[in-house]
Amino acid sequence: MKIGEIARLTGLKVETVRFYEAEGLIGAPIRSGGNYRVYNGSHLDRLSFIKRSRDLGFTLDQVRDLLRLADDPRGSCAEVDAIAAVHIHEIDRKLADLAALRTEIVQWGATCDATTIADCRIIDALSNAG
């Protein structure tokens, strides 16, 4: 399949497929007589794995490590567990940050009894956030 088709099937942009190829995350596809990239099922599987991993928030380096580990099915999954644990810790940190942000914005709204923008507590808090 050509790059446009594999991009469509994986939900990636053509430029992203090229980027992953340049980064060595997928093997270089063969070239057709017209010099088009020709991808196969293994490219599709690998790109789908990358897309799903990225959608779940894994960094590019983590994806690279996960792919390396996935390439050795007899290897220990302890490294995969370690990568997942680091990612879970980062998710938990982000959730705590979002909860704190939500609390702050709710408090702004709860203390705002202004009727005009000039007296609005939320606008004032955002203006003085620096």
Taking the alpha carbons at both ends of the chain, their separation in whole angstroms is: 51
Give pTM, 2 decimals: 0.81
CB atoms within 10 A of CB 1: 16
| CATH class in words for 1-59 | mainly alpha
- Cα separation, 13 vs 7, in Å, equals 6
Q: For residue 126, what pLDDT is reported?
A: 84
- Does the structure show a pLDDT above 60 at 130? no
Residue 127: pLDDT band by 50, 70, 90 thresholds? confident
Amino acid code (one letter) for 1: M
Query: Is 45 within 8 Å of 82 (Cβ atoms)?
Result: no
- Does the structure show a pLDDT above 90 at 102? yes
Q: What is the DSSP letter of 58?
A: -
Radius of gyration of the chain (CA): 23
Q: Provide the sign of the torsion angle of the four alpha carbons 95, 100, 105, 110, taken in this order.
A: positive
Please state, in angstroms and as integers, the Cα–Cα distance from residue 4 to each residue in 9, 38, 100, following that order: 9, 10, 42
pLDDT digits (tens, 9 = 90+) for 14-61: 999 999 999 999 999 999 989 999 999 999 999 999 999 999 999 999
Residue 115: pLDDT band by 50, 70, 90 thresholds? confident
